[in-house]
Amino acid sequence: MSTLPPCPQCHSEFTYEDGAMLICPECAHEWPANAAETAEPAAKIFRDAAGNILQDGDTVTVIKDLKLKGSGGVIKMGTKVKNIRLVDADHDIDCKIDGFGAMSLKSEFVRKA
C-alpha cells in the first residue's frame, strides 16, 4: 500500500517520487512532494457587526460611541473610517481616524459602509 497521495489532476493512485517531486505516470503531472506541508492555512474571515465580510481597504462606520483609553476622548457613533487594514489580533482593524490618529478597533463595533 502506497503512502503517497494520489495525483491532484487525474486522481491516479500510481504516483511515485523523483527527488523532491511527485510524478503521476498516467497524466505526467508533477508537483512538489511537500505541497501539502507548504499550503497556506485558510485565511481568517473578518465580519462586521451585521455579518458582512470585511476586506483590507474597506470603509466602515462606527456603530456606537467608543471611549478611548488614556486620552479620555470619544469616537462618536457614525464616524466613517476609510481604508482599514485587517490584522489577526485582539483588535481586528488597524486604521487612522481624523483627529485621533492611528488606532485599533474591534470589528464587532463597526458596520461596512
Cβ–Cβ < 8 Å for 85, 97: no
Domain ranges across the chain: 1-39, 59-112
Query: Would the pTM of this model clear 0.85, i.e. be above it?
Result: no
Which CATH class, in words, describes the domain spanning 1-39? mainly beta
| pLDDT above 90 for 4 | no
Residue-wise pLDDT for 51-80, tens only, equals 999 999 999 999 999 998 887 889 999 999
Q: What does the alpha-carbon distance between residue 8 and residue 12 come to, in Å, rounded to a whole number?
A: 8
59-112: CATH, from 3.40.190.10, 2.40.30.10, 2.40.50.140, 2.30.30.40 = 2.30.30.40
Place of cell 517520487: 17
Cβ–Cβ < 8 Å for 47, 107: yes
Q: What does the alpha-carbon distance between residue 85 and residue 104 come to, in Å, rounded to a whole number?
A: 9
